[in-house]
Amino acid sequence: MWNAVRAIAQKDIYTTFTDRSLLLIMFVTPLLLSTIIGLAFGGIGGGGDLPVTQLALVNQDAGAELNGTQVAYGDIFVNVFSPSSDDAVPTGAVCQLLIPDPNNASADTGAFDITKLIKTTRYDTPEAARAAVDAGEQQVALIIAADLTQQLQISADSTTLGQTQVEIYGSPAYPVSVSIVQSITRSISSQIANGSVTIAATIQSLIQRAQIDPIFGLRWAAEQAAGTFRPDFGCGFIPDLSIVSIEREALNAAQTQSAFAQILISIGSGQAVFFALFTAQLGLLSIYDEQKQGTLARIMAAPIPRASILIGKLAGNFFSVLSQVLILLMALTVIVSIVEGEPQFIWGSNLPLVLLTTVVLAISVAGIGVFIVGLARTPEQARIMGPVVNSTLAALGGVFGFSLPLFASQFSPIYWGTNAFTKLAQGNPDIGLNLIILLVQGSVMFIIGTWLFSRRTDL
C-alpha cells in the first residue's frame, strides 16, 4: 500500500513541479508581487500613494538636565509624528527636515508633510495604546520609555550611551504601516544618538572657550544664572552635521532589518500562503482531471486499496504545498539579500521554529484546500469557490496591502502565519498560539474535507 501511496505522491509532485504555467502561479507571481510591494513601500522604489498610518503615540520620556538645560528627546518623536500637537516643541529653522511647514508642505525644501502619511493620536499609557491596536482602532503604537533622554544623554561627566527602548507595537495586519513607523523611528533614534554626541562636543567647546576668553565665560555664566541661555541644538539632529559616527543601537530587534526586508517578511509570507492555497486546491482538483482522462480508472484497476489513492493524492498535495512555501521563503531571503547588497536570512535565527511553522502552515493550507474541494459538488464549483475563499482569506490576512480590523483578520490562517513569521523574524519565539490555531483549524478542515471528498470521488 505504501509503495502505491509513494508512487502516486511522487508522480503528483513531479507533474506539479514540471508544469510551467503552474510554476508561474506558484512562484513567479508571489515573488514578483512581494518584491514590487516591498520596493514601493520600503525600499528603493519610493513614490506612490502610501496608506495613512494610524499611530498611537505614548511619550513617557521624563527628560534630563543637560548642563543646566532641560532636554527631552521624546519631544523630538512628538515633533515628528504629531507636529501640530500642543506639546510639540519647535527646535529651530535648521530642523526643517524633521518639521513640516504647514503652509508649504509640498515645497521642495527637503521638508515633507508627515501628517499626510501618519495620523497620530496621543495616549497616556502604554496599555491604552496597545489596547487601541488590539481593537483595530490604531495600526501601530509607539511607546517612548521614561528614561530615553537620561540614557542617551552625553555630558562632560558622562560620555557613554545607555540602553533604552522605544517600543513599536504593531498590528501584523498592517505590515506596511508598521514598517513606515519603524523606519522613521530608526532614523530619529539614530539622529538622537548622533545629536547627543554633537551637543556634548558643542558644550565642551563652549567650556574650553570660556576658559580661554574670560569675557565670554562671564557672559555665559550670567545668562545661565538668569535662565536666558537657550542654545539651538536642533542642528545637532541634522544627519549631515553628525560629527561623530557611532554604531547604531537597536531599540528593538526588528529594527535590525530594513523596511524592505520587513515588508517582504509580512507581505511575502502572506503571498506565499495565498498562492499555496491555490496549489492545494489545484492539486486535489487533479483527481477530477484524472477521472476525465481515464488515468484514475486505470489506477483503480491496480491491485491497491482505494484508500491508498486518496492518501497518495493528499500526501502529494501536502508536500507540493510545503515545498512551495519553503522555496518561496528562501527566494524572499535571496531577494532581500540582492536588494540589500549583502547575504542575510530574514526569517530570524530560530530555524527549527521557522521549519515547524512552515509545516503547520502547509497542514493548514492543505486542510483548507481539501475542505473547499470536498465542499464543492462539482469541480467547476470548486474552481469558482476556491479563488473567492482564497482572496477573502488573503484580504483578511493583509496580503493586499490594506488591512481590516484585527478581530476579522484573526479568521484568516494567513494572519496567523504571517504573524508567526514576523515574530520569528523579530527574534520572538512566542508563536505557540499561532501554531495551535493553525494546526487545529487545518486538521479539522482536513478531516472534514477528506471525508467529503472521498464520498464525492468514490475513493
Partner 1 sequence: MQVMVDAKKLVKTYNRADGTKVQAVKGIDLQIYKGEIFGLLGPNGAGKTTTISMISGLLAPSSGDATIGSYSITRQPIEAKRLMGYVPQEIALYPELSARQNLEFFGKLYGLGGKDLSRRVDEVLDFIDLTERQKDRIDTFSGGMKRRVNIGVGLLHRPQLLYMDEPTVGIDPQNRRRVLDTVKRLRDEYKMTVLYTTHLMEEAEELSDRVGIIDHGEIIALGDQNQLKQQVGEEDRLIFRVDMPNSADGLLQKLQQVEGVTRALYDAPQASEKDEKPVGKLTLFAKRGRRALPHLIREINDAGIEIASVEVREPDLEAVFLHLTGRALRD
Give contact residues for partner 1 (rule: CB under 8 A): 3-4, 6-8, 11, 14-15, 18-19, 293-295, 297-305
Q: How far is the CB of 394 from partner 1 (least distance, A)?
A: 29
If the CB atoms of residues 47 and 294 are measured against partner 1, the closer one turns out to be: 294
Q: How far is the CB of 299 from partner 1 (least distance, A)?
A: 6
Long-range contacts of 408-416 (CB under 8 A, 24+ apart): 408/136, 409/171, 409/172, 409/173, 413/273, 413/361, 413/364, 413/365, 413/368, 413/437, 413/438, 413/441, 413/442, 414/270, 414/273, 414/274, 415/172, 415/173
- Whole-angstrom distance, CA of residue 399 vs CA of residue 391: 9
Q: How far is the CB of 13 from partner 1 (least distance, A)?
A: 12
The one-character DSSP state at 328 is H
- Whole-angstrom distance, CA of residue 102 vs CA of residue 113: 8
User: Per-residue DSSP letters for 415-436?
Assistant: HHHHHHHHHHHTT----HHHHH
Q: Among 177, 226, 236, 176, which Cα is nearest to 201's?
A: 236
If the CB atoms of residues 2 and 157 are measured against partner 1, the closer one turns out to be: 2
Helix (H, G, I), strand (E, B) or coil at 120: strand
Q: How far is the CB of 39 from partner 1 (least distance, A)?
A: 35
Q: How far is the CB of 305 from partner 1 (least distance, A)?
A: 7
The one-character DSSP state at 233 is -
Q: How far is the CB of 7 from partner 1 (least distance, A)?
A: 4
If the CB atoms of residues 14 and 451 are measured against partner 1, the closer one turns out to be: 14
Q: How far is the CB of 2 from partner 1 (least distance, A)?
A: 11
Three cell numbers at 110?
527637503
Q: Among 326, 179, 347, which Cα is nearest to 262's?
A: 179
If the CB atoms of residues 44 and 301 are measured against partner 1, the closer one turns out to be: 301
Q: How far is the CB of 285 from partner 1 (least distance, A)?
A: 16
Q: How far is the CB of 369 from partner 1 (least distance, A)?
A: 21
Q: How far is the CB of 459 from partner 1 (least distance, A)?
A: 12
Q: Among 78, 89, 177, which Cα is nearest to 133's?
A: 177
If the CB atoms of residues 317 and 441 are measured against partner 1, the closer one turns out to be: 317
If the CB atoms of residues 205 and 293 are measured against partner 1, the closer one turns out to be: 293
- Whole-angstrom distance, CA of residue 313 vs CA of residue 326: 20
If the CB atoms of residues 121 and 291 are measured against partner 1, the closer one turns out to be: 291
> Cα 84–40–181 angle (5° rounding)?
35
The one-character DSSP state at 64 is E
Which residues are bridge partners to 65 per DSSP? 70
What letters, b where the CB count within 10 A reaches 16 and e where it falls short, cover 109-125?
eebeebbebbebebbee
Q: Are 362 and 322 in contact (CB under 8 A)?
A: yes
If the CB atoms of residues 168 and 299 are measured against partner 1, the closer one turns out to be: 299
If the CB atoms of residues 209 and 292 are measured against partner 1, the closer one turns out to be: 292
Q: How many CB atoms lie within 10 A of CB 279?
A: 23
If the CB atoms of residues 92 and 305 are measured against partner 1, the closer one turns out to be: 305
- Whole-angstrom distance, CA of residue 204 vs CA of residue 217: 13
Q: Among 399, 251, 401, 424, which Cα is nearest to 333's?
A: 424
Indicate the residue type of 220. W
Q: How far is the CB of 32 from partner 1 (least distance, A)?
A: 25
If the CB atoms of residues 15 and 410 are measured against partner 1, the closer one turns out to be: 15
Q: How far is the CB of 295 from partner 1 (least distance, A)?
A: 5
Half-sphere exposure of 190 (CA within 13 A, CB side): 18
If the CB atoms of residues 309 and 399 are measured against partner 1, the closer one turns out to be: 309
- Whole-angstrom distance, CA of residue 329 vs CA of residue 335: 10
